[in-house]
């Protein structure tokens, strides 16, 4: 999303670096070419035993499609590779199920609780099968067994999708709320949608479902893990925990649940009366006006100056677990994963089946985190424990020599014990704990993704305010971003790693592969990396999705969106022959810029929507 103006980190964690030396290192990497960087980097003995694609004998060309030319990726309508087709699915305001309340302008708060939300972002497809069993040791097949349904796993499933931010109160209508109903429309358009979708013929549609639901800002939620029950989550008036907000990117677990991540939650709070921020509130960017949503004007929960609702803001900034196959489940905020501006969460299965979660905190000069469960996830679940409730949270320090360390955010560390009373405080104010440990301030960590060979990739979208480069953030300033890659010791559970820079966006400028501000990211099982952008592209190009061959560094543009949008969210059917992505805030909400997707003659406002992509010959997406 666009709210990237802040810097909340005053810690001065700026590892001393000789800028010249760093730039020399960078030139060396680039001189070796992307192929050299990609193939040569992870050759240390520590990584022996890991599978590398280049060792598998897979010399098939990964990118066979005709790219979208730079000159065609502009204007008010999407463009796609001539080898592919796309279909629009679930625009903002459509009913969750056939027969539900139809989209109308202006929306009503009541209808919006049974309609698709706005600001489509991260999502995941949970297939439903006719028969057979999944192998849940294979991450590509993580999911829930659902027997006896109407279609195959590649034609039928639950789609869980985030609704990051809503312009329904702003660009689409009033500049500020005038009554509580206005606030409720906005709140109900945020959160998560779970819908059941099915392919009939060549077309995907929503279908009747026992488990379709909306989770929004006023939906009851529960807390679990070390902070649950702590005074930091209690308000003086005792109101129960409600809602999730600014749901950005996502993850999914090996046991078949969806993870939604709360990012810029600070922007929804404001102060009606005199208020001054605590150190903790300041570190998370709270201000008297927030992002201008004005919820605090009519909903006391979001008024920082209302003493009855003290601590309400501590209830946001978490990773939330949702069961896409049980609409009665209460969404659970998993506090062991820390409270930051969570972009997303990429789950890996580490050594001895420990669950590992990689997470970016998207703000200039903020950090990368990793959570490791204390034990084998299957064993923990058999014992009735959530693997996401018990474990260790770490923050990353990148050394300029290509090594790195994961620093444990534990109250057992005397440095943290001197500042915090207990582990719940450490987790609730994870950013401050990370400052104290000397984590490396990054150029806005967005999505992370774990490739099957063990490499982890993370987009560092941009940082126009960096004045001092370091190895991991080699440009100062860095207006166009880069992608970093690392590999952890000990199959994701170790406390050290090695890293390199995979791509620097500015190096593509002036070429056909031009892109800037990488954001969404997904590594497929073959060695492709799907890269989505959110920010000013060069030469009038719209935001886009490219595919990289991680073995060679080759890049091709597969899709471009519409003026004023961003491209985000990515998930596939198990056979990878259908891919879902999202167009967020098309035209910036301005119907004079675009009326995409304009599925109805009476609707002219551009609407956020999902895009379903297939290859014309039925092939694997990206090939
Ligand atoms: Fe929600 Fe950092 O993008
Ligand atoms: Ca976004
Ligand atoms: Ca993003
Ligand atoms: Ca972004």
Q: What is the CA(359)–ligand 3 centre distance, in A?
A: 12
Cis peptide bond upstream of 563, omega within 30 = no
Close Cβ partners of 390 (under 8 Å, ≥ 6 residues apart): 225, 336, 373, 374, 375, 380
Distances (CA, A) of 137 to 119, 143, 350, 400, 491: 33, 11, 11, 35, 15
Q: pLDDT of 266-309, one tens digit each?
A: 999 999 999 999 999 999 999 999 999 999 999 999 999 999 99
- Nearest residue to 580 via CA among 616, 622, 610, 559: 610
From the CA of 339, how far away is ligand 2's center (Å)?
19
Q: What is the pLDDT of residues 233-268, one digit of tens each?
A: 999 999 999 999 999 999 999 999 999 999 999 999
Mean pLDDT of 174-199: 94
Query: Out of 38-52, 68-82, 438-452, 577-591, which region has the weakest mean confidence (pLDDT)?
Result: 38-52
157-166, 402-411, 595-604: the lowest-pLDDT one: 595-604
Percentage of the chain lying above the pLDDT 70 cut: 87
How far is residue 169's CA from residue 6's CA, in Å, rounded to a whole number?
Answer: 22
The pLDDT assigned to 64 comes to: 97
| Burial degree of 560 (CB within 10 A; 0-12, 13-18, 19+) | buried
36, containing H or E segment: helix 33-40
- Alpha carbons 75 and 114: distance in angstroms, whole number: 32
Q: What would the pLDDT profile of 59-107 be if each residue is shown by its tens digit?
A: 578 999 999 999 999 999 999 999 999 999 999 999 999 999 999 888 8
**Is residue 460 in contact with ligand 1, taking CB distance under 6 Å?**
no
Q: How confident is the model at residue 130 (pLDDT cuts 50, 70, 90)?
A: low
Bridge partners, residue 556, by sequence:
547
State the chain's maximal CA–CA distance in angstroms: 66
Handedness of CA 89, 138, 392, 382 (dihedral sign): positive
Token output for 445: 């960590």
Counting from 1 in the atom list of ligand 1, the atom nearest the Cα of 461 is: 2
Of the listed ranges 57-61, 190-194, 365-369, 378-382, the one predicted with least confidence:
57-61
Is residue 30 scored above 50 in pLDDT? no
By C-alpha distance, which of 337, 298, 303, 301 is closest to 317?
337
Ligand 3 centroid distance, CA of 347 (Å)? 17
Token digits for 588? 């910036």
What are the φ/ψ torsions at residue 183 (nearest 5 degrees)?
-65, -40
Say yes or no to pLDDT of 20 above 70.
no
Q: Is residue 344 within 8 Å of residue 359, measured between CB atoms?
A: yes
| Ligand 1 and 245: CB distance under 6 A | no
Ligand 1: distance of its center to the CA of 19 in Å? 29
Helices (H), 64-126: 109-112
pLDDT band at 172 (very low <50, low <70, confident <90, very high): low
Give me ligand 3 centre to Cα 343, in Å: 6
518-523 and 528-533 strand pairing = antiparallel
Can you give the pLDDT at residue 437? 98
Q: How many CB atoms lie within 10 A of CB 536?
A: 12
Which region among 24-33, 276-285, 446-455 has the lowest average model confidence (pLDDT)? 24-33
The answer on pLDDT for 175 being more than 90 is no
For residue 540, what pLDDT is reported? 95
Q: Give CA separation, 487 vs 398, 458, 494, 500, 542, in Å.
A: 12, 12, 10, 9, 32
Task: Count CB atoms within 10 A of the CB of residue 601.
Answer: 6
Q: How far is it, in rounded angstroms, from Cα 361 to Cα 261?
A: 10
Q: Is 72 helix (H, G, I), strand (E, B) or coil?
A: helix
**Tokens representing residue 455 in the block:** 């490499």
DSSP one-letter code for 296: G
Give pLDDT, residue 599.
80
**Is 566's C-beta closer than 6 angstroms to any atom of ligand 1?**
no
- Residue 159's nearest CA partner among 124, 130, 107 is 124
In 367-513, DSSP assigns E strands to 368-376, 391-398, 403-408, 442-443, 445-450, 456-460, 482-488, 496-504
The answer to whether residues 611 and 570 touch, using CB atoms and an 8 Å cutoff, is no
Rounded to two decimals, the pTM is 0.91
Q: Which pLDDT band holds residue 166 (cuts at 50, 70, 90)?
A: confident
Residue 148 phi, psi dihedral angles, 5° rounding:
75, 25
Cα–Cα distance measured from residue 15 to residue 321, given in angstroms and rounded to the nearest whole number: 35
What pLDDT score was predicted for residue 5? 61
169: nearest Cα among 154, 159, 179, 158: 179
| Ligand 1 pocket check for 164: Cβ under 6 Å | yes
pLDDT of residue 21: 43
Question: Which pLDDT value is given to residue 44?
Answer: 33
Mean pLDDT of 320-325: 98
Confidence band of 139 (pLDDT split at 50, 70, 90): low
CB of 458 within 6 A of ligand 1: the answer is no
Of the candidate ranges 132-146, 176-190, 314-328, 547-561, the one whose mean pLDDT is the lowest: 132-146
Does pLDDT of 153 surpass 80? yes
Distance CA 406, CA 398 (A): 9
* Atom 3 of ligand 1: nearest residue by CA position: 1
> What is the atom index within ligand 1 of the atom nearest the CA of 341?
2
Distance 571 CA to ligand 1 centre (A): 17
- The pLDDT score that the predictor gives to residue 15 is 37
Q: Mean pLDDT, to the nearest integer, of 14-20?
A: 36
Res 460 pLDDT > 70: yes
In 3D space, the residue among 276, 249, 426 whose CA is nearest the CA of residue 336 turns out to be 426
Q: Confirm if 396 and 439 have CB atoms less than 8 A apart.
A: yes
Ramachandran category for residue 339: left, alpha or beta (phi over 0 → left; psi -120 to 50 → alpha): beta
Question: pLDDT-derived band of residue 170, with 50, 70 and 90 as boundaries?
Answer: low
Q: Which ligand 1 atom lies nearest to the CA of residue 264? A: 1
Classify 268 as helix, strand or coil. Answer: helix
Q: Classify the C-alpha dihedral 178-179-180-185 as positive or negative.
A: negative
Residue 54: CB partners within 8 Å, gap ≥ 6? 39, 551
Q: Which residues pair with 486 in a beta bridge?
A: 456, 499
Ligand 2 geometric centre to CA of 344 (Å): 11
Bridge partners (DSSP) of residue 319 are 261, 334
Q: Mean pLDDT score of the chain, rounded to an integer?
A: 90
Mean pLDDT of 170-191: 86
Residue-level length of the chain: 623
Question: For position 131, what pLDDT does the model report?
Answer: 44
């Amino acid at each position: 999303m666009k709210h990237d103006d802040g810097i909340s980190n005053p810690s001065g964690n700026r590892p001393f670096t000789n800028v010249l030396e760093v730039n020399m290192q960078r030139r060396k990497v680039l001189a070796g070419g992307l192929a050299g960087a990609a193939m040569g980097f992870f050759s240390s003995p520590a990584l022996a035993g890991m599978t590398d694609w280049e060792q598998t004998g897979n010399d098939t060309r990964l990118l066979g499609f005709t790219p979208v030319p730079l000159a065609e990726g502009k204007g008010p309508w999407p463009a796609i590779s001539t080898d592919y087709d796309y279909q629009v699915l679930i625009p903002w305001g459509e009913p969750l199920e056939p027969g539900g309340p139809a989209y109308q302008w202006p929306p009503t708060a009541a209808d919006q609780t049974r309609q698709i939300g706005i600001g489509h972002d991260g999502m995941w497809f949970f297939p439903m099968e006719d028969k057979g069993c999944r192998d849940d040791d294979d991450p590509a097949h993580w999911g829930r067994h659902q027997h006896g349904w109407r279609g195959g796993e590649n034609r039928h499933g639950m789609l869980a999708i985030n609704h990051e931010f809503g312009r329904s109160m702003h660009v689409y209508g009033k500049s500020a709320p005038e009554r509580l109903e206005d606030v409720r429309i906005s709140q109900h358009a945020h959160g998560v949608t779970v819908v059941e979708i099915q392919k009939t013929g060549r077309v995907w549609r929503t279908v009747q479902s026992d488990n379709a639901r909306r989770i929004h800002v006023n939906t009851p939620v529960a807390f679990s893990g070390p902070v649950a029950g702590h005074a930091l989550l209690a308000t003086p008036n005792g109101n129960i925990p409600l809602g999730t907000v600014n749901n950005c990117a996502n993850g999914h677990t090996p046991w078949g649940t969806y993870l939604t991540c709360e990012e810029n939650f600070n922007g929804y709070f404001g102060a009606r009366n005199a208020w001054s921020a605590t150190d903790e509130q300041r570190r998370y960017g709270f201000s008297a006006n927030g992002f201008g949503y004005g919820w605090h004007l009519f909903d006391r929960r979001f008024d920082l100056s209302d003493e009855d609702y003290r601590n309400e803001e501590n209830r946001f900034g978490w990773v939330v677990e949702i069961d896409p196959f049980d609409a009665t489940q209460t969404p659970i905020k998993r506090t062991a994963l820390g409270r930051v501006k969570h972009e997303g969460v990429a789950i890996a299965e580490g050594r001895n089946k420990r669950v590992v979660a990689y997470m970016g905190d998207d703000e200039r000069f903020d950090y990368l985190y990793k959570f490791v469960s204390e034990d084998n996830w299957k064993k923990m679940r058999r014992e009735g424990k959530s693997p996401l409730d018990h474990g260790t949270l770490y923050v990353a320090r990148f050394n300029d020599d290509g090594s790195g360390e994961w620093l444990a955010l534990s109250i057992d560390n005397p440095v943290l014990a001197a500042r915090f009373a207990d582990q719940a405080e450490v987790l609730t104010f994870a950013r401050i704990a990370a400052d104290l440990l000397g984590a490396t301030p990054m150029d806005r960590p967005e999505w992370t993704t774990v490739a099957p060979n063990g490499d982890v990739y993370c987009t560092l979208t941009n940082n126009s305010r960096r004045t001092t480069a370091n190895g991991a953030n080699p440009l100062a300033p860095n207006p166009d971003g880069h992608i970093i890659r690392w590999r952890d010791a000990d199959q994701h559970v170790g406390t050290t790693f090695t890293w390199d820079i995979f791509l620097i966006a500015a190096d593509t400028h002036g070429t056909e592969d031009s892109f800037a501000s990488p954001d969404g990211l997904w590594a497929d099982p073959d060695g492709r990396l799907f890269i989505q952008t959110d920010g000013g592209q060069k030469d009038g190009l719209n935001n886009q999705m490219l595919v990289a061959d991680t073995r060679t560094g080759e890049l091709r543009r597969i899709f471009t969106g519409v003026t004023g949008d961003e491209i985000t969210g990515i998930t596939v059917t198990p056979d990878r022959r259908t891919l879902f992505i999202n167009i967020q805030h098309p035209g910036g909400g301005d119907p004079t810029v675009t009326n995409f997707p304009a599925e109805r003659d009476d609707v002219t406002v551009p609407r956020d929507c999902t895009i379903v992509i297939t290859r014309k010959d039925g092939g694997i997406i990206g090939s």
